[in-house]
Amino acid sequence: MNKIEKLIAILKMSTIGILTPLEMKYPALRNVLSNSSKPLDNWRFFMTVGGIVCFLLKKGTIFNNIYKKQLIKADKEIFLAVGDLLNYLELTKKDYKNLDSKTVIGFWVLWAIKEKKLTADEEKELPSVIGNYLTRIVSDSL
């Protein structure tokens, strides 16, 4: 099992384990999930994608051929979504210039799960909570 495959496994387990505690602490998360066509599947998938991008940023590495090959081998859909999130980060730099990248990742994850724009309540705390959680998981797994 390569590093990316291990990270995917850790992220999938960790994100399912934290879902209920986060829902209890942040009721706005319930609203995000209730608007999703596939709440648990989308939660696990997009949180995993966000975690992989946090890993790439934490390592200070680009999405190089080694990681691309490992990710394609592990899960092609996640590979494509990682590319989408990296493009989103690049395209929204100016829009989110006052936010750190982990919070912007949190916005993308929540938007992708909900499949539409976040409400003001959802935007208030959730993106930073999600971004910080993913960063912590990645840091603990390095």
What dihedral angle (degrees, nearest 10) is formed by the CA atoms of 76, 67, 42, 80? -50
Domain residues for 123? 3-141
d(CA 26, CA 47) in angstroms, rounded, equals 16
Residue 92 or 140, more confident: 92
User: CB within 8 A of 64, min separation 6: which ones?
Assistant: none
Is residue 95 very low, low, confident or very high in pLDDT (cuts 50, 70, 90)? confident
pLDDT digits (tens, 9 = 90+) for 14-24: 999 999 999 99
pLDDT for 27 equals: 94
User: String of b and e for 71-108 (b: at least 16 CB within 10 Å)?
Assistant: beebbeebbebbeebbebbeeeeeeeeebebbbbbbbb
**CB count, 10 Å around CB of 119?**
13
pLDDT digits (tens, 9 = 90+) for 42-90: 999 999 999 999 998 887 766 677 888 889 999 999 999 999 999 999 8
> How many structural domains does the chain have?
1
The three-point CA angle 88-89-90 to 5° equals: 90
d(CA 105, CA 53) in angstroms, rounded, equals 8
